[in-house]
Amino acid sequence: MIGRLYFNSGYHTKCITAVVSICLFTLTANAQSRGFSASVSGGFSKAKSSNGGSLFTEADKGYYVQASGMFPLGKRWGGVVNIQHNVLSANSKGMAERLLHTDPNAVALTVETGAFNITNAGAGIYYDWNFGNSFFVRLSPLIGYSQLQTPEITVIADTEPHTTYTYKAGGSGAFYYALHVRPSLMINKRFAVLIDAGYQYAGYKLSGIMGKQVLDDKVNYGTFNAGLGFQYRFGSK
């Protein structure tokens, strides 16, 4: 058995989630007189790695959920805080092909794995382009913290002798940047429906131990999201 242990840093995700939740709560508490807006969206998510050095570059597609808080600073622009969670299936076929290249004695492989998880928490600004009284397009660049959680991967190789590769679940945190575009239609003065499209990018470093060696894997992910959502505007204005 070949084992690789990745250090789990899921604690950081909980801290960032708590900080963003506090920010959203604080903004909401002051929303009654300042026009704070909150939105929820979700839909399809697709990840693509720009490097192919390890099995942990094989996150594929899945879904995402997202919550945002917008605080106006001007007539058309303001500040935004955002938290997003992506659940991505693993490309088991790609993993098997990768290992077949590295193990010339293997004639068949079985790959057992769970899902990848990427959590992003960030802040930025937004700007609105208005088209008439009801329709607007919102552009939001963001920066913040991203947490990649990798699944445990078990690979059973049909070789002589029988070989099992086990890669333990773990995680890594990194800086990320994102750009979101949201065409929105106001249903009334407070409620809007929206189309959400976004792109996020982060470079992660996974550190682990194999025997007495310390190994590093660099994993870069660009994630595209597309979905639907709604927005509600608080305040008296």
Tens of pLDDT, residues 21-73: 555 554 444 444 457 899 999 999 998 887 765 667 777 899 999 999 999 99
User: In this model, does residue 111 exceed pLDDT 80?
Assistant: no
Buried b / exposed e over 46-59, threshold 16 CB at 10 Å, is bbebeeeebbbbbb
What does the domain layout of the chain look like in residue ranges? 2-27+37-233
Model confidence at 211: pLDDT above 60 = no
Q: How far apart are CA 175 and CA 131, in angstroms?
A: 34
Average pLDDT over residues 106-121: 82
pTM recorded for the entire structure? 0.79
Give me the CATH code for the 2-27+37-233 domain, please: 2.40.160.20
Report the alpha-carbon distance of residue 54 to residue 169 in Å, rounded.
14
